[in-house]
Amino acid sequence: MKNLWQETIHIGITSDMSFTKKRNIKVINMVVAMVMAMSLVYTISSLAFNEVLVALINFSNVIVALVGYFLHYKHRYQFAKFILIFHSIFLFVGFSILFGEELVTENFAFWGIVFVSLIYNKRAYIIIFCTLYILAFIFVRTYFHLGYQPFVQIPVIEYFYHINLIMPFVLIFFTLQLFKKETGFFQHEVELKNAELYQQKEEIETQRDNLSQLNEEVIAQRDELEDKNREITRKNKQITDSMNYARRIQSAMLPKLSSIKHFLPETFVFHSPKDIVSGDFYWFEPVQPVYSSVTNDRRGGGVFIAVADCTGHGVSGAMMAMLGMSSLSQIVNELKVTQPAQILYELDTNIRKHLKQDGSSSDLRDGMDIALLMFDIDFHKIYFAGAQRPLYLVRNKELIEYKGDKNPIGSGFYETKTFTLHEIDLLPDDIIYICTDGITDQFDRENKTKFGSKRLRELLQELQKHDFKEHEHQITTIYRDWKGRNVQMDDVLLIGIKF
């Protein structure tokens, strides 16, 4: 029976509700249960005294109570409150007019005011419904004061009089008991929460002490990191200053564009190092031909120009570039070698000698790729040799590629090396391009696709729509648009010459 009572007053309650809302629903459920019980008693009593009308009216309370439970079960709490309140007002007025003042139904008006005050928190609702109960009470009093008589006379009026007198106080008693029990439960919950909060407080204080200690350690580590960062910054500045000085030295060793244009007026150089110093270099050397007084002919001589891509980039590439430039100048000016294929052979021998690439070295791959040509001004010819780098000739808007040999300069992995000499007769308006692989190896702005050799050849052909003076600008713009904000993959070097 106790379990049934607990289930009855807990209808419509969920675990996520606040304490106040749970209590209000319990009050409504308890009052509804008491009213339903009282109405059943009234109904049975009325039938015992053969008062069928009274029994039907009281049984309507049972129906309304069941409707209230159903609405609570469906979580329609406000609707349930409205039905219970308006039904009680209607019942109070209707019972009084039908059966007279002797039933003491005004007690229910008083109980209605108490009931409204318990189940509503908003003052506006309390004032509205209490006013309705008071107006209903005044209406009944005025109705009988004006001399109106009840419509139905009940022979057992005193029996219902005592029940009507006692029942509101029974309801109030049980309500107060519920409040007392709920208050005790709430107080117990508060004590548990306080104990939990106290424990959490101690844990927080312990964590605060630990955090304070950690904070001191972090501050010490921060100070140490700041000292290290200052040291790193100082060393970086020293390194950067040294690199900038090395760049000035490297720039001084590179040929001036004005010197090249003195012999080849329509020439441009697109050079974009990846780092401060570059592993790509270009070399230029004009050499006077030697004439034989015996045979009365000339030997060698002309304008030498080359682009080279050294192993690596940055400092290591720049050191290799300086070795390459000095070696080329030595071969041409001191050894008097003027045939491009033979120059590459001598350059390979020189590089391998300086780097001790005799098979015992721990790193045998250092070297360079190079495109070297000699322009014979008198006979308007080009002699070209390449080590893994091509020469592109554009004639009448058609591109011809002269591939270099698949032998790099340097590297101990190749026992014997030969380099092919290409002899090219030049025609007016011929354009040649020699370059490193910096452009072709560059990924696009989404870092997915390399520019590639095919796209470079198409670009060089497409450039023929523009005047030669615009070629450098067009190549620079297209390369930078392709790269976007993506990191530059390698040093970039491309030279164009129009004859």
User: pLDDT tens-digit profile of 159-201?
Assistant: 555 565 566 666 667 666 666 666 666 666 677 888 888 888 8
If pLDDT is split at 50, 70 and 90, which confidence band does 454 have? very high
Q: DSSP string covering 136-162, please? A: HHHHHHHHHHTT---S---TTHHHHHH
d(CA 30, CA 27): 5
Q: Which residue has the higher pLDDT, 193 or 382?
A: 382
Closest-CA residue to 494 (of 452, 438, 422) = 438
pLDDT at 492: 95
Of the two residues 376 and 180, the one the predictor is more confident about is 376
Predicted local confidence at residue 414, as pLDDT? 65
Interatomic CA distance for residues 2 and 7, integer angstroms: 9
Which two structure tokens, joined as six digits, stand for 359?
């098979």
Strands of 158-274, DSSP E: 267-272
Residue-wise pLDDT for 217-228, tens only, equals: 889 888 888 888
How crowded is residue 93: how many other Cβ atoms within 10 Å of its Cβ? 18
Using alpha carbons only, what angle is made at residue 137 by residues 132 and 143, rounded to the nearest 5 degrees? 120
Confidence band (pLDDT; 50, 70, 90) for 362? very low
Dist. CA 404–CA 272, nearest whole Å: 23
As given in the structure block, the two tokens for residue 441 are 């190896």
Averaged pLDDT, 190-213: 85
pLDDT single digits (tens) 245-303: 777 887 888 999 999 999 999 999 999 998 888 889 999 999 887 665 555 566 667 89
Architecture of the structural domain at 254-498: 4-Layer Sandwich (3.60)
Distance, in Å, from the CA atom of 84 to the CA atom of 11, rounded to the nearest integer, reads 16
What is the structure's pLDDT at 231? Answer: 87
* pLDDT score of 446 more than 90: no
pLDDT of amino acid 134: 83
Q: Strand pairing partners for 290?
A: 299
Mean pLDDT of all residues belonging to the chain: 82
Q: For the chain, what is the radius of gyration of the CA atoms?
A: 53
Contact in structure between 119 and 28 (CB atoms under 8 Å): yes
What confidence tier does 442 reach under pLDDT thresholds 50, 70, 90? very high
What number is the average pLDDT over the span 400-426? 88
Which carries the bigger pLDDT value, residue 377 or residue 104?
Answer: 377
- Residue 168: its pLDDT value, please? 63
Q: What pLDDT was estimated at residue 234?
A: 86
Residue 431 has pLDDT above 90, yes or no: yes
* pLDDT band per the 50, 70, 90 thresholds, residue 1: low
The 3-class secondary structure across 318-381, one letter per residue, is HHHHHHHHHHHHHHHHCCCCCCHHHHHHHHHHHHHHHCCCCCCCCCCCCEEEEEEEEEECCCCE
Q: Output the CA torsion 242→307→321→263 (10° steps).
A: -80
What count of Cα atoms within 13 Å lies in the side-chain half-sphere of residue 300?
Answer: 18
Name the token pair of 149: 């008589």
Q: What does the pLDDT look like over 314-337, one tens digit per residue? A: 787 888 889 999 999 999 999 999
Q: Taking the CA of residue 150 as centre, how many other CA atoms within 13 Å lie in the half-sphere pointing to its CB?
A: 15
Percentage of the chain surpassing pLDDT 90? Answer: 32
Per-residue pLDDT reduced to its tens digit, 121-167 = 788 888 888 888 888 888 887 887 787 777 766 654 555 555 655 66
pLDDT for residue 325 = 93
Average pLDDT in the 425-433 region? Answer: 95
Residue in 136, 66, 129 with CA at minimum distance from that of residue 95: 136
DSSP string, 464-498: GGS-GGGHHHHHHHHHHHHHTTSPP-S-EEEEEEE
Q: What is the pLDDT of residue 483?
A: 92
Question: Model confidence at 309, in pLDDT bands (50, 70, 90)?
Answer: very high
38-63 CB burial, b ≥16 within 10 A, e <16? bbeebbebbeeeebeebbebbbbbbe
> In the structure, what pLDDT confidence band is assigned to residue 103 with cuts at 50, 70 and 90?
low
Task: Enumerate the β-bridge partners of residue 450.
Answer: 443
Which residue ranges make up each domain of the chain?
A: 2-200, 254-498
| pLDDT single digits (tens) 25-70 | 777 777 777 777 777 877 887 787 777 777 787 788 788 878 877 8
How much is the pTM? 0.56
d(CA 254, CA 281): 7
Residue 495, C-beta contacts closer than 8 angstroms, at least 6 positions apart: 267, 268, 269, 270, 282, 305, 307, 433, 434, 435
Which two tokens mark 240? 């950067």
